[in-house]
């Protein structure tokens, strides 16, 4: 009592003499103040005592009422809530605690299920959100680049993705004369030899270019371009490219897990990587998600995936929605919307120059 009385007396004197409130911060002890050092020392100790009291979390034994810190108390193994001072009290209180324990477990389960439900809702909100265009617009004609890989070309000189129409269109100099030497339509660097192309690709990989890394992964996956067939190395490169934003790289990882290419079959991981690719605008991964959902009997989710894939130009999804409509799993409005979405996509990517490249060149330049 004497110590407690002394502390109260000191606090009272500090308050009346210096106007200091112990519940808040004060600058009365800063340099240049008129407060005695002994008083400041008392204030500091009182503040430290207050902070220490807040940091110590006390627990009470549910059986005997004995107090203790949380780190030296026993806890109910089932509900993880009720605490005991020792194992003996836990055993004695077990029968009395049973009903309360079951209630704690029930509430914890409800909370966990609610958290899972909210997490699933947030995930679906992201998953079924309209994805961005996978390749953006061509940097030359500024028309949307088609998703079909034969409709665009990747340039190792400048790292640009150029539509097939601009790639095969004539290149002119500053005076308007057609240049006979084959050059990059964007940066005007001459096309390299096979050895030069390999060296450029290597440089692009070192610069963390996701397309170059993905292409190298494809070489290892298929065993071409002078690389041995190494699925493990390919998946490492796909993962690296995916982390840098390459959607198709994640789709390839999903394919590997779905069919056991270089890894053990794992449908959960396949779905995860398909979803990562789909949310980045990859229509192939989106189509595969729709197929897998349909196989699982989740036709509503399958329809959602196929509708998004159609808006990204996936004609297989359009055919799937047509079949779903015929079998009563999609409405007439669904099929009509899908047709309009596909036509809208074609309107965004079509150009006379791309049509000419598809018709006149020896290479496959189909873009839809």
Query: Is a pLDDT exceeding 90 seen at residue 13?
Result: no
Q: How far apart are CA 232 and CA 229, in angstroms?
A: 9
Query: Is a pLDDT exceeding 70 seen at residue 12?
Result: no
**What sign does the CA torsion over 50, 55, 56, 58 have?**
positive
Q: What local confidence, expressed as pLDDT, does residue 32 receive?
A: 53
Query: Is a pLDDT exceeding 70 seen at residue 50?
Result: no
- Which residues are within 8 A (CB) of 227 and not within 5 positions of it... i.e. 6 or more apart? 216, 219, 220
Q: What local confidence, expressed as pLDDT, does residue 149 receive?
A: 92
Q: Hey, which residues does 163 pair with through a beta bridge?
A: 152
- How deeply is 323 buried, as exposed, middle or buried, from its count of CB atoms within 10 A (0-12, 13-18, 19+)? exposed
Query: Is a pLDDT exceeding 50 seen at residue 54?
Result: no
Query: Is a pLDDT exceeding 50 seen at residue 51?
Result: no
Query: Is a pLDDT exceeding 90 seen at residue 41?
Result: no
- Higher local confidence (pLDDT), 162 or 11: 162
Query: Is a pLDDT exceeding 80 seen at residue 251?
Result: yes
Q: How many residues does the chain have?
A: 368
DSSP SS3 for 67: strand
Pair 301, 328: CB distance under 8 Å: no
Arithmetic mean of pLDDT over the chain: 87
Mean pLDDT on 238-267: 96
Pair 200, 157: CB distance under 8 Å: yes
Mean pLDDT on 326-347: 97
State the pairing for strand pair 152-154/161-163.
Answer: antiparallel
- How deeply is 241 buried, as exposed, middle or buried, from its count of CB atoms within 10 A (0-12, 13-18, 19+)? buried
- pLDDT tens across 161-178, in order? 999 999 999 888 788 888
Look at 33-42, 96-105, 254-263, 347-356 and tell me which has the smallest mean pLDDT: 33-42
Q: What local confidence, expressed as pLDDT, does residue 33 receive?
A: 55
Q: What local confidence, expressed as pLDDT, does residue 31 receive?
A: 55
Residue that has been written with the tokens 């009272």 in this structure: 12
Q: Residue 46 — pLDDT band, cuts 50, 70, 90?
A: low
Query: Is a pLDDT exceeding 60 seen at residue 35?
Result: no
**Own/partner pairs, 182-185, CB within 8 angstroms, 24+ separation:** 184/155, 184/157, 184/158, 184/160, 185/140
Which alpha helices (H) appear in the chain, and where do they start and end? 2-18, 37-55, 87-127, 164-168, 194-206, 210-222, 231-243, 247-259, 267-279, 283-295, 299-311, 315-326, 332-349, 352-360
- pLDDT tens across 268-286, in order? 999 999 999 999 999 999 9
Q: What local confidence, expressed as pLDDT, does residue 231 receive?
A: 94
Task: Please tell me the pTM assigned to this model.
Answer: 0.76
């Amino acid at each position: 009592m004497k110590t407690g009385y002394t502390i109260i007396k000191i606090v009272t004197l500090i308050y009346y003499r210096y106007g200091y409130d112990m519940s808040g911060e004060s600058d009365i002890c800063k340099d240049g103040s008129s407060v005695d050092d002994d008083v400041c020392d008392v204030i500091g100790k009182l503040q430290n005592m207050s902070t220490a009291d807040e940091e110590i979390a006390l627990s009470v034994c549910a059986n005997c009422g004995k107090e203790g810190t949380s780190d030296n108390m026993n806890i109910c193994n089932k509900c993880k809530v009720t605490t005991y001072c020792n194992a003996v009290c836990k055993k004695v209180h077990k029968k009395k605690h049973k009903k309360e324990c079951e209630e704690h477990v029930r509430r914890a389960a409800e909370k966990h299920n609610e958290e899972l439900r909210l997490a699933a809702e947030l995930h679906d909100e992201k998953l079924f959100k309209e994805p961005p265009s996978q390749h953006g617009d061509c940097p030359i004609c500024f028309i949307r680049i088609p998703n079909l890989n034969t409709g665009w070309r990747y340039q190792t000189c400048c790292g640009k993705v150029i539509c097939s129409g601009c790639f095969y269109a004539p290149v002119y100099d500053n005076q308007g004369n057609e240049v006979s030497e084959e050059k990059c339509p964007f940066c005007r660097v001459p096309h390299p030899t096979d050895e030069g192309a390999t060296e450029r690709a290597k440089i692009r990989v070192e610069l963390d270019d996701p397309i170059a890394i993905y292409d190298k992964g494809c070489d290892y996956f298929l065993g071409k371009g002078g690389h041995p067939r190494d699925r493990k190395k390919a998946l490492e490169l796909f993962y690296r490219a995916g982390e840098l934003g390459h959607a198709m790289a994640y789709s390839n990882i999903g394919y590997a897990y779905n069919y056991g290419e270089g890894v053990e079959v794992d449908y959960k991981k396949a779905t995860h990587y398909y979803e990562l690719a789909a949310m980045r605008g990859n229509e192939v991964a989106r189509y595969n998600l729709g197929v897998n959902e349909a196989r699982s009997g989740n036709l509503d989710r399958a329809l959602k995936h196929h509708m998004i894939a159609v808006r990204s130009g996936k004609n297989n999804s359009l055919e799937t929605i047509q079949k779903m409509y015929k079998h009563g799993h999609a409405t007439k409005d669904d099929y009509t919307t899908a047709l309009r979405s596909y036509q809208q996509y074609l309107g965004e990517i079509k150009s006379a120059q791309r049509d000419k490249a598809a018709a006149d060149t020896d290479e496959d330049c189909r873009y839809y």
